[in-house]
Amino acid sequence: AQSVTQLGSHVSVSEGALVLLRCNYSSSVPPYLFWYVQYPNQGLQLLLKYTTGATLVKGINGFEAEFKKSETSFHLTKPSAHMSDAAEYFCAVTGYRGTASKLTFGTGTRLQVTL
């Protein structure tokens, strides 16, 4: 079984400020972890994913995330927010065996970027 917890349903940052979106997971098998982004009235698209290997993962649009097994976390960061980053962000987890047929999403964090 697996689950995802995203802390903070809404996060507001100023343009140019650090973006930090938090994600904690639980999984009975080694996880594959994902961050997806959803712009208004659109489907989801992949930002980045962790499978195995390097724990710091770089994605599109300057985002990155670090897999920390000891903390069961996969937080998403971006050094400098841009207005175009305003969207909803979803963390998701699946296992690579056993429960690998199901992708479990968190409840999402809406990012607001202000001038």
Query: In the complex, which residues of this chain contact another protein (CB under 8 A)?
Result: 9, 32, 34, 36, 42-46, 49, 51, 90, 94-96, 100-108
Min separation Cβ 108 and another protein, Å: 5
Give the residue from 5, 10, 1, 8 showing the smallest Cα distance to 71.
5
Of 53 and 115, CB closest to another protein: 53
- C-alpha 86/C-alpha 12 separation (Å) is 9
Q: Which two tokens stand for residue 114?
A: 């202000």
Of 34 and 74, CB closest to another protein: 34
Q: Which two tokens stand for residue 43?
A: 């489907």
Of 40 and 83, CB closest to another protein: 40
Min separation Cβ 92 and another protein, Å: 8
Helix (H, G, I), strand (E, B) or coil at 42: coil
- 60 phi/psi in degrees, rounded to 5: -80, 160
Min separation Cβ 100 and another protein, Å: 5
